[in-house]
């Protein structure tokens, strides 16, 4: 019996020693895991963006772009997010939608800007998308739903049906419930750090979930993010009792100008 115990412990010790020894090596760097996945992400992001940019006209109006840039940059600066890596694009599309693509593309539809009543509502949605970007949810969702091999073959010009599926998946922002919750709360934290009131973000979700019954195709961001009322409630609960400084970024006239320019 003693012999068996001794042999058992020696076997476990050998296993543990090999594992411990091997885990001291930085395999991620040795196998260049990050570089390989970054390259795939870059290719995919550029590929998807090209398709989206063909489907809708991009808004290049200097003033509009400058205002949106300044809002996103403010959120990034307050949260130590490298804003230089983010590629912001505003597309002329009536859908109330914003989404992220691989390789740090942030796409905002004019319909979203039109339907938000203030900068805080807009930044709540933008913060939510930035959270998906920062936490690596975009590639995770694509790999889970479509598969890495299909994605790689897509960038090489194959899989027409899979491309369609991927585009729908990306713009619908249909992430897992847990990922959505994580992105919501992270967005609220981003807003608090950036001294933006997060309450309008919850109000925006309440408002659109009511409108959804009448405007199913327009309220896209909300209709593809289920349980919006429940989400608005947990945002309200999260900020309840918290004190934070609110500092407006845009003047009333700047906000009005942005909405006017997007309308035109």
Partner 1 sequence: MSLAIDKFGHEPSEHEAENASNSYLMSLVAVVAGLPLPIMNLVATLFFYIGNRKGSHFVRWHCTQALLSQASLLPVNSIGFWWTISIIFSNEQISSKYIAYLITIVLFNLFDFIATMIAAVQTRKGIHVEWWLYGSVTNLICRA
Site residues (CB under 8 A) for partner 1?
Answer: 1, 3-4, 7-8, 11, 15, 18-19, 22-23, 25-28, 31, 33, 135-136, 140, 143-144, 178-179
95: left (phi over 0), alpha (psi -120 to 50) or beta: beta
Report the alpha-carbon distance of residue 189 to residue 193 in Å, rounded: 6
| Least distance to partner 1, CB of residue 61, Å | 38
Task: Report how far residue 155's alpha carbon sits from residue 142's, in angstroms, rounded to the nearest whole number.
Answer: 13
Please choose, from the candidates 178, 81, 89, 181, the residue with its C-alpha nearest in 3D space to the C-alpha of residue 133. Answer: 81
Name the residue nearer to partner 1 (CB basis): 7 or 237: 7
Closest approach of partner 1 to the CB of residue 236, in Å = 25
Q: Report the distance separating Cα 122 and Cα 126, nearest Å.
A: 6
Q: Which is nearer to partner 1, 43 or 140 (CB)?
A: 140
**What is the strand order of the sheet 87-91 is part of?**
87-91, 105-109, 98-101
Nearer residue to partner 1 within complex by CB, 179 or 236: 179
| Smallest distance, partner 1 to C-beta of residue 177, A | 12
Return the number of the residue (39 or 247) whose C-beta is nearest partner 1. 39
Residue 1 or 156: which CB sits closer to partner 1?
1
Q: Least distance (Å) from partner 1 to the CB of residue 96? A: 28
Least spacing, CB of residue 4 vs partner 1, in Å: 5
Closer to partner 1 by Cβ: residue 15 or 70: 15
The answer to whether residues 78 and 194 touch, using CB atoms and an 8 Å cutoff, is yes
Could you give the 3-state DSSP secondary structure of residue 58? strand
CA distance linking residue 198 with residue 239, whole number of Å:
8
Q: How far is the CB of 241 from partner 1 (least distance, A)?
A: 28
Which of 114, 181 has the CB closer to partner 1? 181
Torsion angles phi and psi, residue 26, rounded to 5:
-80, 85
> Residue 96 and residue 14: Cα distance in Å, rounded?
58
Say which DSSP state 82 is in: -
Smallest CA-to-CA distance from 66 within 97, 90, 101, 45 is with: 90
Q: In whole angstroms, how close is the CB of 133 to partner 1 at the nearest point?
A: 15
- Could you tell me the sign of the dihedral formed by the alpha carbons of 69, 138, 176, 211, in that order? positive
């Amino acid at each position: 019996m003693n012999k068996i115990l001794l042999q058992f412990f020696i076997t476990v010790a050998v296993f543990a020693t090999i594992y411990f020894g091997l885990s001291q090596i930085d395999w991620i760097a040795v196998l260049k895991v990050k570089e390989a996945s970054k390259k795939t992400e870059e290719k995919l992001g550029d590929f998807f963006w090209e398709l989206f940019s063909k489907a809708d006209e991009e808004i290049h109006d200097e003033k509009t772009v400058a205002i949106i840039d300044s809002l996103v940059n403010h959120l990034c600066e307050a949260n130590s997010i490298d804003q230089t890596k983010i590629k912001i694009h505003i597309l002329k599309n009536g859908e109330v939608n914003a989404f992220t693509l691989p390789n740090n593309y942030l796409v905002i539809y004019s319909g979203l800007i039109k339907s938000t009543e203030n900068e805080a509502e807009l930044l709540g949605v933008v913060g939510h998308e930035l959270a998906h970007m920062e936490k690596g949810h975009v590639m995770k969702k694509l790999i889970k739903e479509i598969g890495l091999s299909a994605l790689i073959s897509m960038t090489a010009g194959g899989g027409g049906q899979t491309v369609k599926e991927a585009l729908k998946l990306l713009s619908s922002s249909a992430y897992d419930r847990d990922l959505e919750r994580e992105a919501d709360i992270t967005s609220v934290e981003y807003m608090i750090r950036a001294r933006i009131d997060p309450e309008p973000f919850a109000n925006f979700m309440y408002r659109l979930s009511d409108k959804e019954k009448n405007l199913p195709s327009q309220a896209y961001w909300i209709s593809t993010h289920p349980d919006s009322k429940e989400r608005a409630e947990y945002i309200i609960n999260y900020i309840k009792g918290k004190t934070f400084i609110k500092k407006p970024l845009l003047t009333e006239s700047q906000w009005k100008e942005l909405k006017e320019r997007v309308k035109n």
